[in-house]
Amino acid sequence: MNTQSATAPGLTTFTANAEEQAIVRKVAWHIMPLIMICYLFAFFDRINISFAKFQLQGDLGLSDTAYGLGASLFVVGYVLFEVPSNIFLYKVGARRWIARIMISWGLATAAMVFVSTEWQFYGLRFIIGAMEAGFAPGVLYYLTLWFPATFRGRITSMLFLASAFAGLIGAPVSGLILGHMEGVMGVRGWHWLFMLGGLPCIGLGLIVLRQLRDKIEDANWLNAAEKDLLRKRIAHHNPTAHTSSLMSAIRTPGFLMLGVVYFLIQVGSYGLNFWAPHLIRSAGTESPSIIGLLTAVPYICGAIAMVLVGRLSDASGERRKFVIGLMLLASVGFSTAGMFDKQTFLLIIALGIMGAGVVAAIPAFWALPPKLLTGAGAAGGIALINTLGQLGGVVSPVMVGRIKDLTGSTTLALYVIGGMTLLCALILGYAMPAQLTKKDH
């Protein structure tokens, strides 16, 4: 009798865990494929602008500083409308708002084919950023409504695998489009790049409107018992202090520090996304197709690191230390790329290290904010953290472009970004509140 009573709790826990895992798998199969495809196209635009750089600069007569400014104006539009967008998402529902974002930014991206002057380039990049604003934090907030905390490392890594695949698939495809579709039907290669990146987003927006559900209660593919267990497990891991507004989120200890950390991560991310093709070309590779294939290397390394870190962080319940390790790896990658910027083989190795660090750090980081925020405060707070982070996308392209114009080389800029990613690791190691240093288990 004693033995039975001692083992019963273990058996009950095992059964509950097995049932929870089955429900989470079902939710993931219904939600994640579509979300990942949408996220894939979101990052196509980030990569396409870097591949369009050479033809676009030639056609519009842009300096490296002007190109960097145009790239950054995308982020300015994104930043200005990020928090309002996520507040609207919370009010009207994720399904409608994500669909609106997909359709409007797809139209704006395709409209790049009409750009013929420097100021049109600036204006449309700002509009594209404004139309996309709220997508990433909106999706991240949406996932907190469907997945318990103990699964979020893997789920977030799964989401951000789309960004890695955007580099893995998008970079070679972008190179092929530029190399083989130049002049087809009298259209420039870089015009094809933006049309093929933007128009599918309109169709995806319509699918989102039809397929996604706003709440667990609306999921007709879950039965009542599954819905009840999923709600309880998500509530069990949420912070005990409910953040009911954006201001309550801002006042939460550690919140603004997370914004600083994400800013530094994004300085590294945009440094990789916008300048990797240029670095490879400057090292001596001229073929757009080969540049596209080599640009995929850091994203392959990032995808592998992303999957490993997602599983390990979920298994250990440790989040912060993994982000620290990844940012140290990114710092090594940027510094090494600066040392070997004229040696293609060693540069590609450095880009691989850089990609493993900075690409995998983003999903690893996004397991941290839900440890502080819930409710309406989470919707606005996650958007504000992302906004603060995206300012790194303003700093990084302009800084690299300006340093290159002044010195004729990107080497110094790579060292600066390496120092900023190192600073990020130090802040995570020594300036986080106790709530963020605790394990999830």
In angstroms, rounded to a whole number, what is the distance separating the alpha carbons of residues 156 and 144? 10
3-state DSSP assignment of residue 368: coil
3-state DSSP assignment of residue 7: helix
Q: Which residues contact 400 (CB under 8 A, 6 or more apart)?
A: 68, 271, 274, 275, 410, 413, 417
pLDDT in tens, 248-302: 667 777 788 888 999 999 999 888 877 788 788 888 777 777 887 788 888 889 8
To the nearest 10 degrees (0 to 180), the angle between helices 375-407 and 255-282 is: 40
Q: Are 202 and 102 in contact (CB under 8 A)?
A: yes
- % of residues, the chain, pLDDT over 90: 12
In angstroms, rounded to a whole number, what is the distance separating the alpha carbons of residues 379 and 140? 9
- The confidence score (pLDDT) of residue 433 equals 77
Mean pLDDT of 33-48: 80
Mean pLDDT of 415-432: 90
- Please tell me the CATH code under which domain 33-437 is placed: 1.20.1250.20
In angstroms, rounded to a whole number, what is the distance separating the alpha carbons of residues 54 and 264? 27
What b/e readout covers 159-174, taking b as 16+ CB neighbours within 10 angstroms?
bbbbbbbbbbbbbbbb
To the nearest 10 degrees (0 to 180), the angle between helices 288-316 and 255-282 is: 150
pTM recorded for the entire structure: 0.68
To the nearest 10 degrees (0 to 180), the angle between helices 64-92 and 255-282 is: 140
H-state helical runs in 340-374: 344-365
- The confidence score (pLDDT) of residue 326 equals 94
Tell me the CA distances in angstroms from 55 to 11, 135, 179, 188, one per residue in order.
64, 29, 11, 9
Domain ranges within the chain, ordered by starting residue:
33-437
In angstroms, rounded to a whole number, what is the distance separating the alpha carbons of residues 432 and 193? 42
- The confidence score (pLDDT) of residue 9 equals 36
pLDDT in tens, 307-340: 888 888 877 777 888 999 999 999 999 999 888 8
Tell me the CA distances in angstroms from 90 to 38, 95, 128, 381, 402, one per residue in order.
19, 10, 22, 12, 39
Q: Are 113 and 191 in contact (CB under 8 A)?
A: yes
- Least confident residue range of 148-162, 202-216, 303-317, 350-364: 148-162
- The confidence score (pLDDT) of residue 324 equals 94
More confident: 46 or 15: 46
